[in-house]
Amino acid sequence: MNHPMSDSEPLIFLHAFPLNRSMWAEQEKFFSRFREVITFDWPGFGETPPAPPGKGMSSFVDSLRSEIEQRRVERAHICGLSMGGYAALAFYRASPEIVSSLILCDTRATADTPDVRQTRYATAEVVVREGLTSLIESMPARLLGETTLRERPAIIERVQQMIGTARPAGVADALIAMAERGDSTDLLPQISVKTLIIVGREDKLSPPEEMRPMANAIRNSSFAVIDEAGHLPNIEQPYRFNQILRDFLSTE
């Protein structure tokens, strides 16, 4: 097997809703030994102020492009989880020449169903009106696998702390952007770069049986399921996640 530093192109991690860049702490620590690692907060999350409302997924594409231009990156490996996966697909559609490889984690290519869309709109209204309390209380049960919920209270607390750093306006904008995003299914057969699909076996939001067809639709893709992990396998099983990603990058 080649050394993980078989190329010098940076690895960019795109975080999930409603978390922040610190969700990639274990990956940043591990992969920065081999290559440049880039993490950043989406508008309205972590340390980044909200963007002007109404830009939808284009605000995510613009944020990623801005990071790439500021750092003078010509090509990069892009890893997006959940909402970060939506952004990775949208960015690939806009600028495929910049993407060396894609890593899509616990995400989907399809647009929201009408029910999911209405739930996002309703949640956005609650967050703007009442703040983040309901999200902090409800999201861990959705994001984390049953094994984590049962055995790893520190991870539940970490996820709640990350949610608590978000701005209600940024959360609402992200919910609306996700609700109104287009369907990316048509893009999958056009993806020509090597692609890795990762999913937690206990993921309730984008389970393995929904993600496997996505992998099948991308020509040059591999598919990995991580046991004892839900929607956030990079946090729930960081050692296994890093191993899978390292092996993928080693064969670039």
Is residue 5 in some structural domain? Answer: no
pLDDT for position 52: 79
Q: Is 162 helix (H, G, I), strand (E, B) or coil?
A: helix
Does 66 fall in a domain? yes
Tell me, what's the pLDDT at 96? 97
Which DSSP helix (H) or strand (E) runs through 39? Answer: strand 37-39
Please check whether residue 4 lies inside any domain of the structure: no
Residue-number span of the structural domain to which 178 is assigned: 11-250
Separation CA 49–CA 67 (nearest Å): 15
- pTM for the complete prediction? 0.95
241, part of any domain: yes
pLDDT in tens, 45-66: 998 988 877 778 888 999 999 9
- pLDDT recorded at residue 54: 72
Average pLDDT, stretch 100-114? Answer: 96
Q: How far apart are CA 182 and CA 89, in angstroms?
A: 11
191: CATH = 3.40.50.1820
Indicate whether 3 pLDDT > 50. Answer: no
pLDDT of residue 175: 95
Structural domains of the chain, count: 1
Model confidence pLDDT, tens digit, residues 188-210: 999 999 999 999 999 999 999 99
- Is residue 226 domain-resident? yes
Residue 6 within a domain: no
Q: Who has greater pLDDT, 50 or 99?
A: 99
In this predicted structure, what is the pLDDT of residue 68?
95
| Selected residue with higher pLDDT from 251 and 180 | 180
Helix 133-143 and helix 153-164: axis angle, to 10°?
Answer: 140
On whether the CB atoms of residues 15 and 24 are closer than 8 A, the answer is yes
Name the nearest CA neighbour of 241 among 105, 98, 128, 99: 105
Mean pLDDT of 96-116: 96
pLDDT at residue 252 in the model:
57
In a domain, 197, yes or no: yes
Note whether residue 3 is domain-resident. no
**Between residues 50 and 114, the one the model is more confident about:** 114
Preceding peptide of 43 cis, ω within 30°: no
